[in-house]
Amino acid sequence: MFHTRSILIEDINFIVSRIIRLNSKLGNLRREQHEDRRSLPKDKTSAIRCTKCEGYGHENYQCLNWNAKYMTLQELQDYIVYLKGVKRSVRKKLEVKQAQQAQRERENAERTLKEMLEKARQVENLEREQRKKSLIEIKENELREKKKKE
């Protein structure tokens, strides 16, 4: 359970970093396409991000770049298709990891069962040997007693 959760967290962190990289690339492309966008700050120190010009440090209603355009419908649809693909690949990775984990657990259980059976056989062999030794000792004692009586 914990292993699966850590895999999901890793995949989510990967997706988030990928989205951030794609958004910054998209913002850079938009800045390069429009002269007025080149003057926008490129630092990413602020967590607040404008959805209009892809800049940092302000929100879309505070945007000073009047020529900036919002994401087009086609760009948004492409982005959604990309995110669905990422979701599918994350699901596949998770299924593969779960199958591998289940296989390892089965192998460990089989190994443990074999070890337990081997130990049980060893215990049985030791018990047989001890019984044989005790029977031999009993017979030897009986023979000694008979010799003493004679």
Predicted model pTM: 0.40
Q: How far is CA 119 from CA 27, 55, 105, 131, 147, in A?
A: 67, 68, 21, 18, 42
What's the longest Cα–Cα distance across the chain?
A: 126
Q: What are phi and psi of 34, to 5 degrees?
A: -115, 125
For residue 142, give the amino acid letter: E
Residue from 9, 32, 18 nearest 79 by CA: 18
The pLDDT, as a whole number, for residue 44 is: 46
Give tens-digit pLDDT for 51-101: 677 677 777 777 777 666 666 777 777 777 888 888 888 889 999 999 999
The pLDDT, as a whole number, for residue 59 is: 74
The neighbour count for residue 6, using CB atoms within 10 Å, is: 11
For residue 92, give the amino acid letter: K
